[in-house]
Structure 1
Amino acid sequence: MPRNVPSVSRPRPRLLLAGLLSATFFAPLANAESLYSLKVTNDLFSSSDDGHYTSGVDLMRIATPEADHWSRRLAEWLPGWTANGMDAIGYQLSHQIYTPKAIERRELIEDDRPYAGLLLGGLSLFDDVQHDGWREASMLNLQFGMVGPIAGGEPLQNGVHKVLDSDKPRGWDHQLENEPIVNLGWNKSWWLQNRWAGLEWEYGPSASWQVGNLYDYLGTGGAIRFGDGLDKSFGIPSVTPALSGRQGFSANRGFGWYGFVGVEGRYMAHNLLLDGNTFEDSHSVDRREWVGDVTAGAVVSFDRWQLAFTNVWRSHEFEAQEEADHFGSITLSTWL
């Protein structure tokens, strides 16, 4: 019997996964318009370093579902939520790349974080309640996807570095193994509203948690927004693993802008990207349980477009980490 039998062409697993996540992102909603956002996160936006959370790309879609949409029936079933009270539903596609600092080394770098590619889909429910002089913003988020070679972190980073003529990452042989991801997160913010020095102000505390095989944590913090036209916008941008709640703006409301500063502290009980694979042996480092973020940035919107820039300073996430991380993100949003 011939040994070299032509193989039948089959779709690559990562293409099947990407197709499943895309189907979630483009799921049917109401006939009304949706808010689409593209967020790009990279350490090069804020420093010359290349490592740790080195890059991320997020596509987001937010819309108001019709009265008979399945998401409203789901909200009615959830504790603390109601079908009529839910304001919006969101879908998200996300790809993230994590590496150690010395990407030019081929050998395993035991005292720096593992290489990891992460491909995720997300579904979020939003509820924003306006009270007299303050508002309450809630979010429930479900994420699912894969970490490991199937997420395509190695070819994507190699391709980008080849185009930019920068150092080739040589340690991807030590990346985390394939593992499915399921994570549930919750975030609530309480925004006090005021006007001072000719500007509109929102400020207040927040609380959050996540549970799953990607992250397990409890978080708390607070933020301040100040500018003009705050009533047409929602929340502040953030960078994973932090949950920012609903982000975006109302269409056709003219020009608006705001600056923001936020802080969050998290007790990290589990971080797969540092602790290593759940069911297989893999590279890991000694995770720190307490991690803090300081976030600052600015947002500008006009009619149907919004542009946001965010800087994040993050404390050490693992014991052997030599210095805190600093990275930034740019988000472009529009109503379609």
Structure 2
Amino acid sequence: MLRRVALCLFGVLLALPATAQVRDTWTGRLMFENDVLWVDDSDRHYSNGIRLEARGREGHIWSWIAGPGRWLTGAGRDTPQRMGLALGHNIYTPEDIKTEELVEDDRPYAAWLHGDISVVAREGRTRTEATLSLGVVGPAARGEEMQRWFHGIIDSPIPAGWDNQLSNEPAVLLVVQRGWGDLVPPRPAPLLGEQGLDWDLVPHADLALGNVFVHAAGGAVLRLGNDLGWDLGPRRIRPTAAGGDLACGRRGFVWSVLGGVTGRAVVRNIFLDGNTFTDSHSVEKNSFVGDAWYGLTLSWGGLRTSFIHTIRSPEFEGQRRPDHFGSITVAWSP
């Protein structure tokens, strides 16, 4: 049943750009994160994430979510809103994936399959997004099948310990995120302004509540490039999802290099704490986790790509070293 629902959601997202009317109102984005994209060929902890999004233009929002969206984002009646739909899948594993035995001092195997609906409100270059995510954690999320299939393609070791994964559990998550693009807006870069290069700094914060994550986070993104005024930097997959478009449409060649940091005060992480309602394997999580990341974005016409490398501090007691993973995003708009 869950697989049918996921396939239906996937089909809806793919079909949205298919008609002339929808092409005028929706944009798409595909995000892929994997530790194999990092040069040390690591395969541990946050192993893979994929997310497919469809976003409406400003003013395109279903009426029944406009009111709750304004309440969650704090938007005024005249503040423009837009909506989004997404389908996401994340995989988490211990470092040793070759053993069938439970690795007691490492994080559990887990997968998360979810569908999201979101509302975005914009005032100037301040962007607030509220997202409700509904899905499942456990075998129904098909993490074992997904990882076995992908490892077969890239000729990596086949994971043997998925019998120890978290049990099936409904996954509910509400996230409210804000980016303040007006605090340090784009301005000519020192020594490079005559070449048409600008820089900006975008602080951001978010609050996550649910049985998947409970955390408060904050950070900032520093960018250097041209035509920075139309967005707040590239988006990434949760729990780090800073960035987002302020405007859509075709543009000339736009590029930027960027770096950022994010810190999270963690109250709950189901992928470390284990199942909410049943006994399961778990580890002692760290109460504070930080990400540092850097990358490059390139845009031409309606197509945009970004390449990001993230370094994540240890998430649980006994983790010997930070994790590294790469992110590739492709976005398109009419």
Superposed pair shares fold, TM > 0.5: yes
2-side partners of 1:329 and 1:28: how far apart? 24
Match of 2:123 among 129, 143, 146: 129
Match of 1:48 among 41, 44, 50: 41
1-side partners of 2:241 and 2:250: how far apart? 27
TM-superposed deviation, 1:203: 0.5
Contact 2:137 2:166 survives alignment (8 Å): yes
Is 1:80 the counterpart of 2:74? The answer is yes
Contact 1:107 1:171 survives alignment (8 Å): yes
1-side partners of 2:260 and 2:5: how far apart? 35
Match of 1:154 among 118, 136, 144: 144
Closer/same/farther in 2, CA of residues 205 and 83 from structure 1, 3 Å limit? same
Is 1:216 the counterpart of 2:209? The answer is no
2-side partners of 1:322 and 1:292: how far apart? 15
How do residues 1-336 of structure 1 correspond to structure 2 at under 5 angstroms?
A: 13-19=1-7, 21-22=9-10, 25=13, 31=22, 32-46=24-38, 47-64=40-57, 65-66=59-60, 69-78=63-72, 80-130=74-124, 135-191=125-181, 192-193=184-185, 194-196=187-189, 197-198=192-193, 199-247=197-245, 250-336=248-334
Q: Which amino acid aligns with 1:168?
A: I
TM-superposed deviation, 1:76: 4.2
Contact 2:60 2:83 survives alignment (8 Å): no
1-side partners of 2:280 and 2:177: how far apart? 31
SS class of match (1:257): strand
1-side partners of 2:12 and 2:140: how far apart? 19
Q: Deviations over 1:77-103 (max 9, x none)?
A: 546123541332111111111111110
User: How many residue pairs align between the two structures?
Assistant: 320
TM-superposed deviation, 1:190: 1.5
Contact 2:296 2:306 survives alignment (8 Å): yes
With structure 2 as the length reference, what TM-score do the two structures score?
A: 0.89
Q: Deviations over 1:208-230 (max 9, x none)?
A: 11000000001111111220111
Structure 2, unmatched stretches of 5+, are none
Q: Which amino acid aligns with 2:98?
A: E
Contact 1:232 1:253 survives alignment (8 Å): no
Identify the range of structure 1 (64-73 vs 89-98) with the bigger mean alpha-carbon deviation: 64-73
With structure 1 as the length reference, what TM-score do the two structures score?
A: 0.89
Structure 1, unmatched stretches of 5+, are 1-12
2-side partners of 1:263 and 1:158: how far apart? 32
SS class of match (2:251): coil
Q: Deviations over 1:253-280 (max 9, x none)?
A: 1110111111111110000000000011
RMSD: 2.2
Contact 1:138 1:245 survives alignment (8 Å): no
Answer with 1 or 2: which has the greater Rg. 1
Identify the range of structure 1 (256-265 vs 159-168) with the bigger mean alpha-carbon deviation: 159-168
2-side partners of 1:76 and 1:248: how far apart? 17
TM-superposed deviation, 1:67: 7.1
Closer/same/farther in 2, CA of residues 28 and 166 from structure 1, 3 Å limit? closer
Q: Which amino acid aligns with 1:40?
A: F
Runs (4+) off by over 6 Å: 26-30
Identify the range of structure 1 (36-45 vs 56-65) with the bigger mean alpha-carbon deviation: 56-65
Closer/same/farther in 2, CA of residues 75 and 44 from structure 1, 3 Å limit? same
Q: Deviations over 1:229-253 (max 9, x none)?
A: 1123343333421231424763221
Pick the structure with more helix per residue: 2
Identify the range of structure 1 (306-315 vs 242-251) with the bigger mean alpha-carbon deviation: 242-251
TM-superposed deviation, 1:69: 3.5
Q: Deviations over 1:78-137 (max 9, x none)?
A: 46123541332111111111111110011000011100111011112112222xxxx312
Q: Which amino acid aligns with 2:119?
A: L
Q: Which amino acid aligns with 1:36?
A: G
Closer/same/farther in 2, CA of residues 299 and 67 from structure 1, 3 Å limit? closer
